[in-house]
Amino acid sequence: MKRLFLIMIISLSVFSFGCTKNQQEPIEEPTPIDEPVENNTDNEIEEVEIKPSDKVNVEDLTLLDEYNFDFDNDGNEEKISIYTAAQKDSNGVIAWDDGQKWLFAVHDTDKDYILLDEYVQLGNIDFFVYTVDDDFHIATVDGRTASLTLTIYRYDSDKDSFMMSTPYEVSGNVNLIKASYGY
């Protein structure tokens, strides 16, 4: 009996250790980038012109974020604002649903630029304001459970319009797993 038990222990040991990999594959270290990579300008991205409109009524909307900046150099700061139709409760907490209308606008003295006006299902929109050289830009990242979109709005002073382009968009069978924060 002891002999049978000893044979079983040896057999299991040989089988267990003989079937595993004794050495791990070496991990390849990433190669540092010596030179920054330029944006790919071979692929032209279509631009859509967004012209100014009459003032838009935002009285029934909840302001989420805004930033003031005089991008057209007229001496008056324009207001870049993002709103939602979701209302605040008595404690000031937004009563989010699984979807609501969002409005992203630039308010000038006597006109507005409506950059986005749509229903957002299970997601949110963040915006970033920046300049490249002397050109004024706004970027939005629109993350939803079934899509992810980066949109760039560049102000064209000659046309008094924003030129919208979408350099990155993925949709369809997308499963957004994590967003860093959200409304």
Q: Are 56 and 114 in contact (CB under 8 A)?
A: yes
Span 58-85, pLDDT tens digits: 999 999 999 999 999 999 999 999 999 9
What sign does the dihedral 81-118-160-107 (CA atoms) show?
A: negative
Residue 161 — pLDDT band, cuts 50, 70, 90?
Answer: very high
In a domain, 11, yes or no: no
Q: Are 140 and 126 in contact (CB under 8 A)?
A: yes
Q: According to the model, what pLDDT value does residue 51 have?
A: 98
Write out the residue range of the structural domain in which residue 126 sits.
Answer: 48-171
In a domain, 95, yes or no: yes
In a domain, 132, yes or no: yes
* Beta pairing partners, 137: 130, 154
Q: In total, how many domains does the chain have?
A: 1
In a domain, 13, yes or no: no
In a domain, 16, yes or no: no
CB neighbours (10 Å) of residue 152? 19
